[in-house]
Structure 1
Amino acid sequence: MRFIAPRWRDIHEMLRALSEKILNRGLRPDIAVGIAMGGLIPAVVLADLLGLEVDAVGAKLYRGVGERGNRPRITQDVSMGIEGRAALLVDDVADSGRTLEAVKEYVLARRPRELVTCTIHYKPWSIVKPDIYIEETDAWIIYPWERREALGDIIERFKAEGVADDEMRREMTSRGIPRWLIENMLQ
């Protein structure tokens, strides 16, 4: 299993680059709408960098690492009015694209003046290509805000494949996973 684990400073740099792409396209959004859970932190950082209001919409698709649900569910409504406003719809990654597609339809039904989708990462097989993204990858991504959950799933897969603990440690530390977290998860 191939995976990457960007660090907080990497994420902040990617979000700074994303904010520059947004401004360089002449976009002047009013609000960043993060898709919970993965898009919340990126939405807050973008809102700070661009001077925007921030809101969230909840959606759930994944069950575990590499395991997808069949259909995205909206689990939390936006709390602020977005009708007539220019909105950024923010997620961490467009993987299958189904969550981004479902939430985009949900937000468009609330009649924003403009809606731009943006993600940090984009997977080449996604059914939706974000309007703006930073990096295309085919690797599984372990973001800093989901490491414990994702590592649990990865360790289970490694064990099912018969990978020794020492090999798991080497693989995960080489990807930037903190050693203390690996040890905690292997206990």
Structure 2
Amino acid sequence: MNSDDLLVLAWEDVFKGVRELAQKIYLSKYVADVIIGVFRNGWIVGRLLGDLLGVEEIGGIGIKFYRGIGETRERPLVISGPTINVRDQKVLLVDDVSDSGRTLQTAIDLVRLYGAKEIRTATLYIKKRTMLVPDYYNDSTDKWIVFPWEYGEIIREISMKRFGDLSLQSIKKTMDLLRINDEELMKIIYESSMIKLRRV
């Protein structure tokens, strides 16, 4: 994997995307009673959307499909149902990206099972190969998207795959690959990795 295969987003990029997504939802005149974000990434996007759209009831739904960069399970694994009541509610179901569309479809099926009156879907991105295009999205890409709330996770994974360790040098090389220039972040990732390794 090289930097051309990645779309690395900063917080400013995410907020700009959420703002654009909120505008599309607002202009469609869809007023959700609740927002359900797919844990983990979709919940963050959902929380930001809820703030901009004035939706106070924000919950999550636990579904895992990815094991790592580009590595999926055989099928999405449901960890938990909606954390708030969706029965007879208009739901905005949010995730970060509709990649294959399988996670989003699983979430739709589950929220429907819990009695939602109406469901619309929103993601910041879709992959060009997705089987499920959400009602609202901003852009499409075939790159692996790195969100700012997962820098540490991605840096650790790439460092281990490329260099076989979590040394300061490996973390620095990975951050250079990702074009993330943040000395303090590099130290935090390194130190926290060392603490975790000492516990094992």
TM over 0.5: yes
d(CA) in 2 for partners of 1:46, 1:169: 29
Equivalent residue number for residue 40 of structure 1: 43
Decide whether the 8 Å contact of 1:3 with 1:141 is kept in 2: yes
2:31 to 28, 33, 36: 28
Amino acid at match of 2:142: D
Q: Give 1:13 shift.
A: 1.1
Change (3 A) 1:89 1:169: closer
Matches within 5 A, 1:38-77: 38-52=41-55, 53-77=57-81
Decide whether the 8 Å contact of 1:33 with 1:43 is kept in 2: yes
CA shift digits 1:57-100 (9 cap, x unpaired):
11111111111111111112213221221110000111121111
Q: Give 1:109 shift.
A: 1.5
1:98 to 94, 98, 102: 102
Decide whether the 8 Å contact of 1:32 with 1:47 is kept in 2: yes
Aligned length, in residue pairs: 182
Structure 1 residue matching 2:82: 3-state secondary structure: coil
Decide whether the 8 Å contact of 1:5 with 1:177 is kept in 2: no
Amino acid at match of 1:99: T
TM normalised by structure 2 equals 0.82
Equivalent residue number for residue 197 of structure 2: none
d(CA) in 2 for partners of 1:169, 1:47: 32
Does residue 181 in structure 1 map to residue 185 in structure 2?
yes
CA shift digits 1:153-175 (9 cap, x unpaired):
22233337xxx9576443222xx
Q: Give 1:30 shift.
A: 1.1
Provide structure 2 residue ranges, at least 5 long, that are not aligned to the other structure.
195-200
Equivalent residue number for residue 115 of structure 2: 111
d(CA) in 1 for partners of 2:70, 2:182: 22
Does residue 136 in structure 1 map to residue 115 in structure 2?
no
d(CA) in 2 for partners of 1:41, 1:169: 23
Identity, in percent, stands at: 31
d(CA) in 2 for partners of 1:26, 1:54: 19
Q: Considering fraction of residues, name the structure with more helix.
A: 2
CA shift digits 1:101-154 (9 cap, x unpaired):
111111111222211111011111122111111111111111111111112222
Equivalent residue number for residue 5 of structure 1: 8
Decide whether the 8 Å contact of 2:35 with 2:93 is kept in 1: yes
Query: Alignment RMSD, CA only?
Result: 2.1
Does residue 82 in structure 1 map to residue 60 in structure 2?
no
Decide whether the 8 Å contact of 2:159 with 2:174 is kept in 1: yes
Structure 1 residue matching 2:91: 3-state secondary structure: strand
